[in-house]
Chain A
Amino acid sequence: MSTRLASGGRLTNRSKQIEFSFDGKRLTGFEGDTLASALLANDQMMLGRSFKYHRPRGLVASGSEEPNALVNLGKGDTHEPNQRATTTELFSGLEATSQNHWPNLDMDIGAVNGLFSRFLTAGFYYKMFIHPRPFWKHIYEPFIRQSAGLGKAPKAEARDPDTYEHFYAYVDVLVIGGGVAGLQAAKAAGEAGAKVLLVEQTAHWGGRAVVDGGTIDGMEAEEWVKTTLEALGKMDNVQVRSRTMGAGVYDHGYILCYERVRDHAPLAGGPRHRMWKVRAKQTVTATGAIERPLSFAGNDIPGVMLASAVRDYVVNYGVSVGDRTVVVTNNDDAYRTAIALKKAGMDVPVIVDARQMGGGALMDEAKALGIRVETGRGIAKVKGGKRVTGVTICNQQGEGAMIEEIACDCVAMSGGWSPVVHLWSHCGGKLNWDDAQAMFRPDHDRAPTSHDGKPFVTVAGSANGYLGLKDVLEDADTAGKSVSGSSAMTDAPKAENAEEKPLEPVWLMPQGASYDLRMKAWLDYQNDVKVSDVQLAAREGYESVEHTKRYTTLGMATDQGKLSNINGLATLSNALNEAIPQVGTTTFRPPYTPFSMGAIAGEARGDIFQPIRKTPMHQWHMDNGAEFEPVGHWRRPYCFPKAGESKHDAVMREVRATRDSLGLLDASTLGKIIVKGSDAGKFLDMLYTNMMSTLKPGKCRYGLMCNENGFLSDDGVVARIDEDTFLCHTTTGGADRIHAHMEEWLQTEWWDWKVYTANVTEQYAQVAVVGPNARKVLEKLGGMDVSKEAIAFMEWKDGTLGGYNARVYRISFSGELSYEIAVPANQGRDFWDALLEAGAEFNVTPYGTEALHIMRAEKGFIMIGDETDGTIIPQDLGLHWAISKKKEDYLGKRAQERLHMADPNRWQLVGLETLDGSVLPDGAYAVGEGYNANKQRNTQGRVTSTYYSPTLNKGIAMGIVHNGPNRMGEDIPFMAVDGETIIRAKIVNPVFFDPEGAKQNV
């Protein structure tokens, strides 16, 4: 069994007990434990079920590479799935539950999948669920969705109570990894005067050296780490951060780091996580190496762990994984585990060494401790279900015939070490295969390069393929000096490399394992990918490692194949009879390990998720019950319901009141762009489809803007202010885009034209005063002459109204007598209030965007975004009158001459009225005769705008219909949302109301 030893544990404080729970069981651990070590100390070996076969799974590793020990943490608002027990520091009150099983961890229905494992081989998703076709939607997909994913997603209504933040840092040198290599590199760079940031993903410094021992500059490794940290602390130019992971390396020295500020102390104040956005001139990745599993049958049974992890639990936490541990290895390092276990008083019945000749000094030391060593041997099979009970030993060179069975409750395996080259590779750093050590190592001649074409990432220590202490420290010292431009002589701390015999690559154990053994030899624990799956993929023709990855799902789980990738591609290359470097690796992508969505969002949530633009009258709208809708970043009133009134009723009332007497619209959000200069007219002639240069000062003209591809992009009224100055109104959502569009053409195409633009949208508050009594209310306010004679339709004038500085445009988007009045933004609210007061006798009614939409549709006016969708040209909408025939050129003109644009078969704008007076569904398609190649009904048009008109007391709609303008009076079938019901509608003139314009021209 797994248990806490009577003593030991360099990271735990035995005087401080900590209570926590796992699957509802109350357990205790010590301060300094991880959740993983505390669970092991409580003999909780089995922690979850695998993804596909729901096989029992226990801890494999002790760090961020752990594939199995994923748990749900917390509950309610703080619930988080897929948290690694190995990187979760224990705290008082921690609540964890296991994942991916039903009804419970011990008894799991999904495990029945394992019985069908012969059918759930590589690519089974693709093979299995293709036929019969209809099964996908009704049977396969619901089943897959039900069983997909590990852990439980947080509830939709849950709200994370914690806060998160972003940090920005600019440094000369960023060192990632706080092992002895990272510490030495940071020290060397710091001594050279560079501004250094050193980050370490765990809470502790020193990496493997402090576990494995060794002497540095005459000190114990632990002592040297402490001394070096103190030295770094005294340097003002060096900053160190633990619990901070280097997550991703991006172009031009941009590095994302992820700091878990108080996951270990949830009750402490401040942000929970930080995302660091670091710009570093140089980055040193001292990220160490990860031990590889060995591929033998049953290597996924709880109790089979990485040899280094077994050692970590004993040395760091005083926890023994088992009473009897079989060590199996192809290298010398795993002997350290056997020795550590033996010295801690545990039984090591045998070390199984796949190498004929065995190891070096460490083997001798193990033997001297009385440990039996079997060389040239392998494990044929691990015995046990929810826990290892024994192993059968065989010849490594054979097919797995049993030589001996040995009882044990833990297997410590080592297949060699893989440098953590992820961060080196994120931005294009290349790798070489090192045959002697059977590992991919960074190729320094092909480093990731920055804006100046020079390398910006340097690897140091084990991450660079140096596994001996002396080599690691010398490499790190060189790295630290070179990235900081130091010319100082190397003065790396003194240390010795242990004498070790070379490793022998073992990609399958035993080498000739039978199919039955191979299909129990796991490569990817989390995604249930076995040696036999990768071999099958190769037989089925998968040659690229990237394709094989996706076909088998190898390395696609949340651990991103940290343990499985090298073993998997070695298996593939063997199956393909190719050398490993020819097969290559899959792409390493950030982040190194998953990090929280909260950290990504940072402060951008709730009210400050995005900035909201408010007009000067916004507070009035709030105070008067406005229902808002977002338009760009603006919030505009949709309508103003009175107490007890529905939104629909409010909209109907607003339209009627405006048509009958007087309505007010806050039109401040309308874009207002000043275009000024001696070439302004010429410029606007290029921008608009119609002629603007001929517009007389004092006059207004409606204009259309297209992009160079011919499609309608924006519309609005242009007023000529004086000879050199125009004011262009744009749509609410279009102001910034159109201003940018103007600047782009002015700066990059017609840079010699004398034109300036300014977006003055927010400088003015604008109110549309609309309805038969519009003139009366303005006359009541008093000031400038607003009579028909003084300011005719499509004219504008400056003056005062009720004492306010006003620019009055006589333009109408409703078909009513209408004045749009702009006042300086700071007078906007007062002016609005004055209009309400003066308008009281006319039943003045503020209206929102929906009433605006209905009134414009009643008049057949198009709306950008309703009648247009980026594929509509003005000609489609019957706007030929707004396209100049005289101009040689405007943006979009050439495009509109193309064959497809001039095609008479294009759908064109018409009005639509249902035969029964109902409202057509928005976006509904008019169906045509027959079916297309995809067996869908042919179509002949669609609805672009549709409303209930309170003026006409029936549904009205606009739409584009094939040959529509020539089919007036014809009724055509529209499909309802249910895909079955047909609604018949008559094609009519799109101007439903007052086609003569009698109401507006008064």
Chain B
Amino acid sequence: MLILQCPYCGVMADETELHAGGEAHIKRFGPGSSDEEFEGYMFGRENPKGVHFERWRHVNGCGKWFHAARDTNTMEVFGTYTAQTSTPPEDLLAQIRDKRPGFKWREFS
């Protein structure tokens, strides 16, 4: 059972306090988008064995959504960060590159 630190209230939150929200940094496609774009937005998801970026909500806590970078295989947590961004912070990416040389996740590496 995971522990993630909520970047808003600082609590080291047990998984029972959290709600998993699936893949992070998905760009919304609305009216006017192609079928392919919309399909990708709705259903295209990464399924990595390794580095992954996810959305979580501190639902039984401060109520805030945040992002987490995690290894889906080893459960190592590289860091958590604000939900108000469409890209992972550069210092976190650098840290992951250091620990998982050559990692690639969507357009990030």
Tell me the A residues contacting B by CB distance below 8 Å: 250-252, 254, 279, 428, 449-453, 708-709, 740, 743-744, 747-749, 751, 888-889, 893-895, 897-898
CB < 8 Å: which of B42, B57, B83 contacts A895? B42
Does B35 sit at the interface, judged by CB under 8 A? yes
Cβ contact within 8 Å between A252 and B42: no
**Chain B positions 62-105 with a Cβ under 8 Å from a chain A Cβ:** 63-65, 71, 74-77, 83-84, 99
**Which residues from chain A contact B20 at a C-beta distance below 8 Å?**
none
Chain B residues with CB below 8 A from A279, complex form: 3, 14
Distance, CA A743 to CA B59, complexed state (A): 11
Given that A747-B65, A747-B83, A747-B84 are known contacts, is A451 also in contact with B31, CB under 8 Å in the complex?
no
Q: Quick check: A898 and B35 within 8 Å, CB to CB?
A: yes
CB distance from A443 to the nearest CB of B (A): 15
Q: Would you call B55 an interface residue if the criterion is a C-beta within 8 Å of the partner chain's C-beta atoms? A: yes
**In whole angstroms, what is the CA distance A230 to B29 when docked?**
68
What's the nearest-Cβ distance from chain B to residue A840, in Å?
A: 45
A882 shortest CB reach to chain B, Å = 18
What are the residues of chain B within 8 A of A254 when measuring CB–CB?
A: 1
Q: Write out the residue numbers on chain A whose beta carbons fall within 8 Å of the beta carbon of B71.
A: 453
CB distance from B79 to the nearest CB of A (A): 11
* B83→A453 contact, CB < 8 A: no
In this complex, the member of A279, A450, A747, A895 whose beta carbon has the largest number of chain B beta carbons within 10 angstroms is A747
A449 touches B21 (CB 8 A): no
Enumerate chain B residues within 8 angstroms of A747, measured Cβ to Cβ.
Answer: 64-65, 83-84
* A453 with B42, Cβ < 8 A, contacts A252-B1, A747-B65, A894-B31 known: no
Q: Is there contact, CB below 8 Å, between A751 and B76?
A: no
Contact A453 B74 (CB under 8 A): yes
Min CB distance B80 to A, Å, is: 11
Interface centre among B29, B30, B83, B99 (most CB of A within 10 A): B30
Q: Which of B14, B42, B63 contacts A743 (CB 8 A)?
A: B63
Query: Which residues of B have CB within 8 Å of A452?
Result: 76-77
Which among B29, B31, B55, B63 has the greatest number of chain A C-beta atoms within 10 A? B31
Interface: B47 (CB within 8 A): no
Q: A252-B3, A898-B38 are in contact. List 7 more A-B contacts (CB 8 A).
A: A252-B75, A449-B74, A449-B75, A450-B75, A451-B76, A747-B64, A747-B83
Residues of B within 8 A of A898 (CB): 35, 38
Q: What are the residues of chain A within 8 A of B77 when measuring CB–CB?
A: 451-452
Q: How far is the CB of A742 from chain B (nearest CB, A)?
A: 12
* Cβ B42 vs Cβ A708 within 8 A: yes
Q: Given the interface contacts A428-B74, A747-B64, A747-B65, does A453 sit within 8 Å of B31 by beta carbon? A: no
Given the complex of chains A and B, what is the CA–CA distance between A251 and B64 in angstroms?
Answer: 23
Q: Is the CB of A451 within 8 A of B75?
A: yes
Question: With a CB–CB cut-off of 8 A, which chain A residues contact B57?
Answer: 740, 744
A894, B28: Cα distance in complex, Å: 11
| Contacts known (A748-B55, A893-B30); A453 close to B99, Cβ less than 8 A | yes
* Minimum C-beta distance from A902 to chain B (A): 12
> A residues within 8 A CB of B29?
894
Q: How far is the CB of A858 from chain B (nearest CB, A)?
A: 37
With A708-B42, A740-B59, A747-B84 in contact, do A894 and B76 touch (Cβ < 8 Å)? no
Question: For the complex, what is the distance from the CA of A428 to the CA of B73, rounded to whole Å?
Answer: 9
Assess the B76–A449 pair: CB atoms within 8 A: yes
Nearest A-chain residue to B78, judged by Cβ: A453
Complex interface: chain B residues within 8 A of A708 (CB): 28, 42
Contact B30 A894 (CB under 8 A): yes
B residues 36-57 touching A (CB-CB < 8 Å): 38, 42, 55, 57
* Residue numbers in A under 8 Å from B11 (CB-CB): none
Q: Which residues on A sit within 8 Å (CB–CB) of B31?
A: 888-889, 893-894, 897
> Does B9 reach chain A (CB closer than 8 Å)?
no
CA–CA, A451 and B71, complex, Å: 9
How far, in Å, is A251 (CB) from chain B's closest CB? 5
Q: Is the CB of B64 within 8 A of A749?
A: no
B-chain residues with CB within 8 Å of residue A895 when the two chains form the complex: 38, 42
Give the residue name and chain of the A residue nearest to B37 (CB).
A894
The one of B32, B63, B65 that contacts A748, using a Cβ cutoff of 8 Å? B65
Selected contact of B83 from candidates A449, A751, A897, CB within 8 Å: A751
- Report which of A250, A744, A751, A894 forms a contact with B84, defined as CB distance below 8 A: A751
What is the chain B residue whose CB lies nearest that of A893?
Answer: B31
Contacts of B55 on A, CB cut-off 8 Å? 748
A743 to B83 alpha-carbon distance, docked (Å): 12
Please, could you name 21 A-B residue pairs with CB atoms under 8 Å apart, sorted by A? A251-B1, A252-B3, A252-B75, A279-B14, A428-B74, A449-B74, A449-B75, A450-B75, A451-B77, A452-B76, A453-B74, A453-B76, A708-B42, A747-B84, A749-B28, A888-B31, A889-B30, A893-B30, A893-B31, A894-B30, A898-B35
Cβ contact of B38, chosen from A449, A744, A888, A894, cutoff 8 A: A894
* Cα(A743)–Cα(B76), bound, Å: 28
CB-CB contacts below 8 Å: B11-25 with A? 14, 21
Given contacts A751-B84, A894-B31, A895-B42, contact A251 B2 (CB under 8 A): yes
Collect the chain A residues with CB atoms within 8 Å of residue B83's CB.
Answer: 747-748, 751
Interchain CA distance A897-B34 in the complex, whole Å: 11
> How far, in angstroms, from A451 to B69 measured CA to CA in the complex?
11
Given contacts A744-B21, A893-B30, A894-B29, contact A250 B1 (CB under 8 A): yes
- A946 CB to nearest chain B CB (Å): 34
Q: Which residues does chain B contribute within 8 Å of A893, judged by CB atoms? A: 30-31
Closest chain A residue to B3 by CB distance? A252
A339→B88 CA distance, assembly (Å): 68
Provide the bound-state CA to CA distance between A453 and B31, in Å: 43
- How near does chain B come to A686, taking the closest CB pair, in angstroms? 9
- Closest Cβ of chain B to A593, distance in Å, is 21
Residues of B within 8 A of A252 (CB): 1-3, 75
Distance, CA A893 to CA B3, complexed state (A): 37
Chain A: minimal CB distance from B71 (Å): 8
Bound state CA distance, A453 and B77, in angstroms?
Answer: 8
Nearest B-chain residue to A254, judged by Cβ = B1
With a 10 A CB-CB cut-off, give which of A449, A453, A893 has the most chain B CB atoms. A453
Residues of A within 8 A of B28 (CB): 708, 749
B residues in contact with A889, CB < 8 Å: 30-31
* A-B interface, 7 closest residue pairs, ranked by CB to CB distance from nearest: A453-B76, A254-B1, A751-B84, A747-B65, A451-B77, A251-B75, A889-B30
Q: How far is the CA of A888 from the CA of B31 in the complex (A)?
A: 7
In the assembled complex, the CB of A691 is this many whole angstroms from the nearest CB of chain B, namely 15
A-chain residues with CB within 8 Å of residue B32 when the two chains form the complex: 894
- Cα(A982)–Cα(B17), bound, Å: 51
A450 to B1, CA, bound (A): 10
Residues of B within 8 A of A250 (CB): 1
B61 to chain A, nearest CB (A): 13
Contact B42 A709 (CB under 8 A): yes
Q: How far is B83's CA from A708's CA once the two chains are assembled, in angstroms?
A: 19
What separation, in Å, do the CA atoms of A751 and B65 have in the docked complex? Answer: 11
Inter-chain CA distance A747–B65, complex, in Å, is 7
